[in-house]
Structure 1
């Protein structure tokens, strides 16, 4: 009876968390749609984030309600842990960007109240996802807290940085009508998509030191490809953003858009610099990922060679051979 009671309370708390997350992500994009600003760059990005969080949470709720999480190909706790942290990060980032962009622009009235409400519910959603991560550790029946491995942390960090880059480049003015900069945006998108797919198919294995990765070639190929793609971006993005010969602006003081009082804190030039720094950081993270994979492969090869040499070693002879 105690065990069934613990399972029942776990399901109830999980359902309540999912319902709260669905409500707190549904309200912001509903208000944003009613305001009619979701077609703009930043509004479009915020709408995408809230819709993504709502859709993934709804799918999670349906799977848990139907009891299908046991058939999930990866660790269900690992899946919840990873994507809940993603949504914490995205909801906080979206609340900050949306709030600072629209609350100060709208005059007092319905539009500003809607912007404040959407920002508030985005923060509430982030808090609920934090509780979800904590609940994975303390819910009845779990002996230890789910802790990702070093490779799992690196994998998450790659996509966290990419999410911040997406938030900044939601301002399409940064790369419009520049093929080289559009290539950079393509790199950010394709590396993020491949990283997300890679975690989906290998997530539980990446966070389990005792279990081999099911698709190691895809893991290594995606990582090495991302290193080369980001290496091109770390050259092209600052070159076309700050070189006057290529249409860039090398100094912030010479950027006319930074003279506006509303954008004096974070203007176009600041956004260009932020993406440049984040691109370099993510390249270093991908390099660290590659080095970590190479090191693990080397250690595994050494262990296999030692095991085989010990097994087939001629020095290990039968005791009866010493008997005359």
Structure 2
């Protein structure tokens, strides 16, 4: 892949390393630059979010734990990025610094977005008025701020048309992040085997989600490790084949999953009112019918992402030829 030059925006001095990209020197003044200030906002907002929740114990169940994990994880990794850049340690970092920060920022934006939606809808609305609810609402607000801050970083650092940069800063690279994230959310919704074990066709859908997730994760890891030249075929061809295979697989899942989950012919429940587990409105648990519907919607979203990925990957192959 001819994407070997990176932009470093929060440094004070640089010198050529002889490898085709600059060697940076860290400085405390980096925090006064726009990207440094943005990362400080990310750090503070995620810290405040989990601190507010932890101070009153306002998290319960899988969805509350997910939100708490999201804020703590994003805080920790953002802190690591700031330390690495302030210390000028990019060359010693075990992953490609051309690809890692924007990859993480994209994941963090999606993580915080999910927490900002899931936490208030599955937990906060059921809290009684008082200190815990106030803290939970404030934490949701800071989660939204963090999401916007991470999304802004992605917008600032992504590749522009005609610009040479790391693969993960390009549209196909960012689509890979979206594809793997959506797949992880699907896995969370199908964590209960009873949703699919009664039909071999539904087990095929689970296999599709797993196979496509692994392939997209491999593409991301190859870029983060700067190992794309180790493939026996050109990396753009590998990406095109991966995207085409994923589109075909997801197309089958998009048909099979709703057919076997919402068709009475296959002993399924076409309406939410038919699911007894959805009768209790005041619960932190997502009922089975809602899980099935969420997976169907997420399958459609990922199929669209893979179609867009295929279009961009095919263009890369065409340009290379």
Structure 1, gaps ≥5 residues long: 138-143, 206-212, 302-324
Q: Which residue of 2 aligns with 1:91?
A: 112
Which one has a larger percent helix, Structure 1 or Structure 2? 1
Change (3 A) 1:33 1:11: closer
Greater Cα offset, 164-173 or 113-122: 164-173
CA distance in 2, matches of 1:38, 1:198: 35
1:44 is displaced (CA, Å) by 3.1
Please give the residue correspondences for 1:160-309 in structure 2 after superposition, counting only pairs within 5 Å.
160=178, 163-164=181-182, 166-167=184-185, 170-171=188-189, 175-176=193-194, 178-179=196-197, 184=205, 187-188=208-209, 191-192=212-213, 194-202=215-223, 215-216=235-236, 219-220=239-240, 222-227=242-247, 229-244=249-264, 246-256=266-276, 269-290=289-310, 292-294=312-314, 296-297=316-317, 300-301=320-321
- Alignment of 1:116 onto 2:137: yes
Indicate if the aligned counterparts of 1:155 and 1:195 stay in contact, CA closer than 8 A.
no
For the pair 1:28 / 2:28, whether they are aligned, the reply is no
TM-score by length of 1: 0.65
- Deviation per CA, 1:214-252, whole angstroms, max 9, x where unpaired? 745654564355345434533442233213354421234
Mapped to 1, the partners of 2:183 and 2:320 lie a distance apart of 35
Inter-CA distance 161–223: structure 2 relative to 1 (3 Å threshold): closer
Q: Secondary structure at the match of 1:104?
A: helix
Structure 1 residue 100 displacement after superposition: 1.9
2: CA distance between counterparts of 1:185 and 1:47?
A: 27
Cα separation, 1, equivalents of 2:141 and 2:257: 34
User: What is the RMSD computed on CA atoms of the aligned residues?
Assistant: 4.4
The 2-side partners of 1:30 and 1:186 are apart by: 38
RCO (CA 8 Å, sep 6+): is it higher in 1 or 2?
Answer: 2
Does the 8 Å contact 1:102/1:112 carry over to 2? no
Post-superposition shift, 1:274? 3.7
Q: Under a length normalisation based on structure 2, what TM-score does the superposition of the two structures give?
A: 0.65
> Retained in 2: the 8 A contact 1:161–1:282?
yes
Q: How many angstroms apart in 1 are the aligned matches of 2:207 and 2:77?
A: 24
- Name the residue aligned to 1:311: none
> Which residue of structure 1 aligns with residue 7 of structure 2?
none
Verify: 1:153 aligned to 2:174, yes or no. no
State whether residues 106 and 177 of structure 2, in contact with CA within 8 Å, keep that contact through their aligned partners in structure 1. no
Point out the more displaced range, 278-287 or 27-36: 27-36
Query: 1:80·1:133 contact (CA, 8 Å) conserved in 2?
Result: no
* C-alpha separation in 2, matches of 1:35 and 1:167: 27
Residues 85, 289 of structure 1: alpha-carbon distance in 2 compared, 3 angstrom cutoff = closer
Unaligned runs of 5+ in 2: 1-10, 15-26, 227-232
TM-superposed CA distance for 1:193, in Å, is 5.2
Q: Is the 8 A contact 1:28 1:118 kept in 2?
A: yes
Q: Which residue of 2 aligns with 1:127?
A: 148
Query: What SS is found at the alignment partner of 2:268?
Result: coil
